Structure 1
Amino acid sequence: MMGKKLKWGMVGGGQGAFIGAVHRMAARLDDRYELLAGALSSRPEKSAASAAEAGIASERSYLHWQEMAECEGALRRAGQGGIDVVSIVTPNHLHAPVASAFLAQGIHVICDKPLAISLAQAEMLQAQAARSGLVCVLTHTYTGYPMVRHARELVRQGAIGELRLLQVEYAQDWWAGGPAITGEGAWREDPAMAGPAGTLGDVGVHAYQLAAYVSGVEPSHLAAELSTFGHGRVLDDHVQVMLRYANGARGTLWASQVATGCENALTLRIYGTHAQLRFEQENPNELWLTPQGGAAQRLTRGRVQGQDALHATRIPAGHPEGYIEAFAQLYRDAADRIQAGGRGSTPEGLLPDFRDGVMGHRFIQAVLDSSHADSAWVSLA
């Protein structure tokens, strides 16, 4: 659904912030948003310079996100062009309070994960979002890939049979050595800003959400071990989890940011009674389907006919699409839903929302509880 561009604002994501630039590129790809307001940094000079660079007028560049929420809400109520939607790309501890402030002003929210820094905080925010009736999106980027959506559709069509085994891993090496993080990313090593989870909250929740998104089910119990290899590091940098499912299926989740030699190796393998599915994020334009007793089939973006994949496909087969396009798909789906009064053309469940955020925090809390109890089995109920 096309219409006027959405009036858009951003909190966080100023100069030097990787993810802020990604959000802006993604939003621009389908030309559905106009960036009009921002509180891009808590430092006045940097905030003003970042806003000017992003094309935001000086009178709509705010130093404090509280002021931005109040002013933009007032402009909306007065019919004077206040923003329709805000993107939140701050350190973790600000996600929930910023989202809550903008929801209170009737403004739709697109938020980075994790949703909050505790399960209780995430549940309170999700309840507020549900009461508001506003569109609330959580940017689990990898759900925007056409072949991830096709895998999800195949599972729901019964292509793999009943779930039997699941393996998901997310391996990086950027935290494998060297001194403590400095500069823009230093908050990642501060529990007051990052929350109680390091790698677990950064990429572990991505792996967990992807597994649940494609398989359609969450585990009932888990047993976990958190490790910290970095010298002097407070938060975890390596996660190992065993998973049990209600139907008797078993799974494993491994997330690490000290896996030497790994770049962004997010891999999902789902084994059913009839077939196996395998997706590798570093080769996102393909999906492998292997029937029991049959030959492996390489399915490629632009060639499969599933409606969920076609909905997220922009260009012909053989022209690679990647991370920015996947991110842009979330923005396009959000725009469709906002402009359609909360409905839109995206099927229910395809666009991750604050319910995914609560699910992620249930996982984080269960992993913390299990690891603290010497890897005892704990319930996710």
Structure 2
Amino acid sequence: MKLRLGMIGGGQGAFIGAIHRIAARIDDEYELVCGAFSSDGEKAKASGLLLGLAASRVYTSYKELIEKEKQLPKDERVQVISIVTPNHLHFEPAKLALENGFNVILDKPMTFSLAEAKELQKVVEQSGKRFCLTHTYTGYPMVKEARQIIKQGKLGKIRKVYVEYPQGWLSFFLEGEDNKQASWRTDPTKSGIAGAMGDIGTHAFNLAEYVSGLHVTKLCADINTVVEGRKLDDDGAALLKFDSGASGVLVATQIAAGSENNIKIIIYGEKGGLEWQQDNANTLLLKWPDKPAEILRTGGSYLSSYATHNTRTPGGHPEGYLEAFANLYRNFALCVKADLDSKQPEKEWLDYPGIDDGLRGMAFVENVIASGKSDLKWTDFKI
């Protein structure tokens, strides 16, 4: 049985909408049945028809989609709604969908502000529906393996966390060239109070907390707007303090000319360390003080159930960004199907980012920007 999927946003010319649709199709867990792909009515209809949808289920607004889908018989209406709009259009569609009984998959960062994130958390809890936030990098098998290694205590007490996300695509003033992706991401009315820190800094923050299993309690940030004329930050770094006493460093920049998307994490414990980077996503490096380093590879029989559950191909066949994205969609689908069958989901299925990750991500945005503006050396991480 495929889950019936609807999409809000992601019409013609949209980058992330196509990624979501590919991710949803990889494991055949979903069928796209409806959508409100654009606020432009003609563009919305054209997008839906190109995707092969019935004209009657291509809507011109998210409100129309939710209202009309709710009126359909239970065995026909959409079951999961994927929201792939710019940040300022996350909260209202997600809230309305949840309140009307639909499960929600939402692109990150979760909302426009921390206040909206707190309200959405309440809505999720009250709705009883499932909610997934697409922090893609947690879907990689070797990222999941790294989390399990730390959780099992193999590195001992964690002492140091380094995470970096370098991009170079905003090294120039692209928002001045009618570049759609650059325009909304650098517009405070659409992106929120953060640019790079909201767009990719939240990914780095989420990866640091997910793999380490720790929570940030204090930070000290340096936030920069490098490209002349830009309205939001395009570069920054933060020193971190975690609840275990560990310290860390987070770097997120979109003006690293020549860099692509090689997000990277290094964690050191008292017994050893580990290293993972997206440029070599099938490899997890373990480093020890008293023996040679170990190289763990996706597909290995020695990996945890969390890594193997999220692996599709034999060892040596690379799995990348699309497959990691698809792992979030599949795990979410398996949990929704378990709910429909009144069964308890497997523990591996439940390993996808949710509302708490979204709330902490928005708290990171507000705290890191506030710290960057403050003269204080350290500021408490407040939610």
Could you state the TM-score of these two structures normalised by the residue count of structure 2?
A: 0.95
1:290 matches 2:287 = yes
Could you say which residue in structure 1 is the equivalent of 2:238? 241
Could you say which residue in structure 1 is the equivalent of 2:380? 379
- The RMSD of aligned alpha carbons is 1.3
Query: Structure 2 matches for 1:348-363, cutoff 5 A?
Result: 350-363=351-364
Do the aligned partners of 1:20 and 1:89 also contact (CA within 8 Å) in 2? yes
Could you say which residue in structure 2 is the equivalent of 1:37? 34
Query: Structure 2 matches for 1:49-88, cutoff 5 A?
Result: 49-75=46-72, 78-79=73-74, 81-88=76-83
CA distance in 2, matches of 1:208, 1:376: 19
1:135 matches 2:130 = yes
Question: How many pairs were matched up?
Answer: 376
Letter in 1 for 2:35: G
Do the aligned partners of 2:167 and 2:256 also contact (CA within 8 Å) in 1? yes
Could you say which residue in structure 1 is the equivalent of 2:328? 330
Deviations 1:299-319 (A, max 9, x none): 100013211101101110011
| Equivalent residue for 1:93, pick from 80, 88, 105 | 88
User: How far has the Cα of 1:346 moved from its partner?
Assistant: 4.0
Judge which range, 47-56 or 371-380, deviates more: 371-380
CA distance in 2, matches of 1:349, 1:62: 32
| Equivalent residue for 1:184, pick from 180, 183, 190 | 180
Deviations 1:316-357 (A, max 9, x none): 001111011101111100110000118422447621011100
CA distance in 2, matches of 1:297, 1:23: 34
Letter in 2 for 1:126: Q
CA distance in 2, matches of 1:92, 1:24: 19
Q: Quick one: percent identity of the two aligned structures?
A: 44
CA distance in 1, matches of 2:75, 2:216: 48
| Equivalent residue for 1:155, pick from 147, 150, 158 | 150
SS at match of 1:143: helix
| Equivalent residue for 1:268, pick from 255, 258, 265 | 265
Letter in 1 for 2:94: A
Could you say which residue in structure 2 is the equivalent of 1:307? 305
Do the aligned partners of 2:283 and 2:298 also contact (CA within 8 Å) in 1? yes
Structure 1 residue ranges without an equivalent (≥5)? none
Do the aligned partners of 1:8 and 1:37 also contact (CA within 8 Å) in 2? yes
CA distance in 2, matches of 1:331, 1:348: 10
User: How far has the Cα of 1:245 moved from its partner?
Assistant: 2.1
User: How far has the Cα of 1:375 moved from its partner?
Assistant: 5.3
SS at match of 1:81: coil
Judge which range, 314-323 or 242-251, deviates more: 242-251
CA distance in 1, matches of 2:180, 2:28: 29
Letter in 2 for 1:175: L
Deviations 1:229-248 (A, max 9, x none): 11100100001100112333
Do the aligned partners of 2:38 and 2:60 also contact (CA within 8 Å) in 1? yes
CA distance in 2, matches of 1:129, 1:139: 16
Letter in 1 for 2:331: D
Structure 2 residue ranges without an equivalent (≥5)? none
Do the aligned partners of 2:335 and 2:349 also contact (CA within 8 Å) in 1? no
SS at match of 2:279: coil
| Equivalent residue for 1:258, pick from 236, 255, 260 | 255
CA distance in 2, matches of 1:349, 1:315: 21
Do the aligned partners of 1:92 and 1:193 also contact (CA within 8 Å) in 2? yes
Do the aligned partners of 1:337 and 1:346 also contact (CA within 8 Å) in 2? no
CA distance in 2, matches of 1:125, 1:257: 29
Could you state the TM-score of these two structures normalised by the residue count of structure 1?
A: 0.96
Do the aligned partners of 1:168 and 1:266 also contact (CA within 8 Å) in 2? yes
Could you say which residue in structure 2 is the equivalent of 1:116? 111
